Amino acid sequence: MADLEVSVVSADRELWAGTARQVVARTTIGQIGILAGHEPVLGILAEGEVRVTTTDGQVVTARAENGFLSVENDQVTIVAGAAELT
């Protein structure tokens, strides 16, 4: 199974980057789950939780708002105006 390369960034710094199996985020049209092989997508983040399940099974959680989520070629980028790891 392929993995995702994920980067979670706030306005002033990168909060987390690494390899993951799954990303779940809240967008303005609802919650989205991303697995390897996902179609390209660009979504607007809603205020809420972003969960990244790493390849070793750990869950990294961040609170994010005012930004976007981009998925292309198994690369997931989450850019938020305000975000913090929880």
* pLDDT for the residue 53: 98
Is residue 1 pLDDT above 70, yes or no?
A: no
* pLDDT for the residue 45: 95
Is residue 11 pLDDT above 90, yes or no?
A: no
Span 19-37, average pLDDT: 97
**Mean pLDDT for all residues in the chain:** 95
Q: What structural domains and CATH numbers belong to the chain? A: 4-85 (2.60.15.10)
* pLDDT for the residue 2: 87
What is the pairing mode between strands 75-85 and 4-9?
parallel
For residue 6, what are its two tokens? 């994920």
